[in-house]
Structure 1
Amino acid sequence: MRISDFAVPDTPAARGARELMHEYHSPALINHVVRSWLWAEAFAVVEGRADVDHELLYAAALLHDIGLAPAFDNHVLGYEEAGGHVGEAMAAGAGWPVERRRRINEVIVRHNWPEVDPAFDLEGYLLETATGLDIAGRRDAEIPLEFRREVLTAHPRLGLAEEFGAGVQEQAARKPHSHARRLLDGGVIDKLAKNPLERV
């Protein structure tokens, strides 16, 4: 398994997601969202998942944390819900029909669920699984070590643990009803620090 095995989509939505990612994310978060896409694609291969909507998965992965950016922060909604609306607006501009626009919103929101049934939402499951690996180190051994090393060399973690941890803490303080609060209460700060990807 190599990074080159996974083709980067070249569509209006994919290009739009990349532009937003580069404009509104720090280098650490850019690397995080790109790694999340690669882990999601890798889990699909490891698990033999067919019928993955690769364009949808890519665009959702690149935008899944865009709600943490100050420009898109919502004073009521959790950052994944705010990000879902950004994704939906971007997809509308890319010409996606209404139902497909709703799908990117759903996938972004569901990446923060504790668990997603792949029979219910395959792309949501893959993104939730991938971000679980990149943030908390879940299921790291299921991805080949050489691929993990290649991805981390190409897209290093930089200050992700500190930056993402601070963002979740700030969101949880202002939005105690949100998934950010659940993540914080679930020990995300400790999980970030102890993530085995920090030592690959």
Structure 2
Amino acid sequence: MTLARIKSVAGVRIPDTALCEAAVDLLESSSPQFLCTHCLRTYIFGSLAVRSLGRSVKDEEAAFCAALLHDLGLIPPYRRDNRFEIDGADAARDFCTKHHVSPERADLVWRAIALHTSPGIPTRLAGEIALVHLGAGLDFLGLGLDQVPPKVLEEILETYPRMKFKSEFHNLLVEHCQHNPAAQILTWTDDVARTAGCTLHGRPIPTATQIMAAAPWDE
């Protein structure tokens, strides 16, 4: 399946610059198909969500690249020792540098990816950052799905099908947690790690409550 070169979906124009084409190529060459279609849905859903809030996206290239590359940190070639959002942001910034994107724009892509799972922060920042957060949240957790008209949703899913995304993505998260359990502490994926039975030094991933209780301070 080639993701390429659809001009628009649900009234959202798909950027077709050389940089955006390179982002599509990287996504397709590195990621399973269910993740590829998720990343494209993220851009479409995010664009619609930002528009519904009366916000604007000034840098479509940066927003598109951030949406398409926001889960690179879950893919084995890009896994390092950080939470996946940071590993993905670092990989996307390397991509931007390779393609001669200015440091300022590369940093925008980095922040959009690094913060995309941090509720309450991205929507207060640039539209490009809000887009990735809102789009990923809608496609992953269904946040705001009730605001998407049925015909619009049908068009998006026909163009970029889910391909058992819920279960496949969960499996990918579990793999990430097993690869690097320490990075999950005090993040939203610590619950995924504990549920999957991941351990750190032979013990379950600690909760925030447990860490606070064990802190070496008096009351």
TM over 0.5, shorter chain: yes
Aligned length: 186
AA partner of residue 97 (structure 1):
S
Report the equivalent of 2:120.
115
Tell me the alpha carbon deviations over residues 107-145 of structure 1, each in whole angstroms, 9 at most, x when there is no partner. 111112133243323222221111111111111111222
- Structure number with larger C-alpha Rg: 2
2:44 equivalent to 1:38: yes
Matches within 5 A, 1:116-195: 116-173=121-178, 174-178=180-184, 182-183=188-189, 185=191
Q: In 2 relative to 1, CA 119–182 (structure 1 residues): closer, same or farther, beyond 3 Å? A: closer
Q: Percent identity?
A: 23
- Could you tell me how far apart the structure 1 residues matched to 2:142 and 2:10 are? 23
Distance 1:149 1:112, change over 3 A: same
**Unmatched runs of 5 consecutive residues or more in structure 1:** 190-200
Q: Distance in 2 between matches of 1:179 and 1:89?
A: 26
CA distance in 2, matches of 1:180, 1:160: 25
TM-score normalised to the size of structure 2? 0.77
CA–CA distance in structure 1, aligned partners of residues 155 and 186 of structure 2: 30
Aligned mate of 1:20, from 23, 26, 32 = 26
Greater share of helix: 1
Instruction: Give matches, 1:63-82, under 5 Å.
Output: 63-74=69-80, 76-82=81-87
Is 1:11–2:17 an aligned residue pair?
yes
**Structure 2: unaligned runs, 5 residues or longer:** 1-7, 196-219
Aligned to 2:35: 29
- 2:128, 2:111 → 1: CA distance? 9
Distance 2:152 2:12 in 1: 12
Distance change (3 Å), C-alpha of 1:133 and 1:6: same
8 Å CA contact retained: 2:116, 2:132: yes
Q: Where does residue 194 of structure 1 map in the other structure? A: none
Question: Higher RCO, 1 or 2 (CA under 8 Å, sep at least 6)?
Answer: 1
8 A Cα contact 1:175 1:181, kept in partner: no
**Contact persistence 1:12–1:94 (CA under 8 A):** no
The CA RMSD over aligned residues, in Å, is 2.2
- Do the aligned partners of 2:50 and 2:130 also contact (CA within 8 Å) in 1? no
Query: If the length of structure 1 is used for normalisation, what is the TM-score?
Result: 0.84
Contact 2:174 2:192 in 1 (8 A): no
Checking the alignment, whether the CA contact within 8 Å between 2:73 and 2:87 is kept in structure 1 is yes
Q: Could you tell me how far apart the structure 1 residues matched to 2:54 and 2:185 are? A: 30
Counterpart code for 1:130 = G
8 Å contact 1:78–1:180 — kept in the other structure?
Answer: no
The match for 1:57 among 63, 67, 79 is 63
Taking a change above 3 Å as real, the CA distance of residues 144 and 184 of structure 1, as seen in their structure-2 partners, is farther
Q: CA deviation at 1:186?
A: 7.5
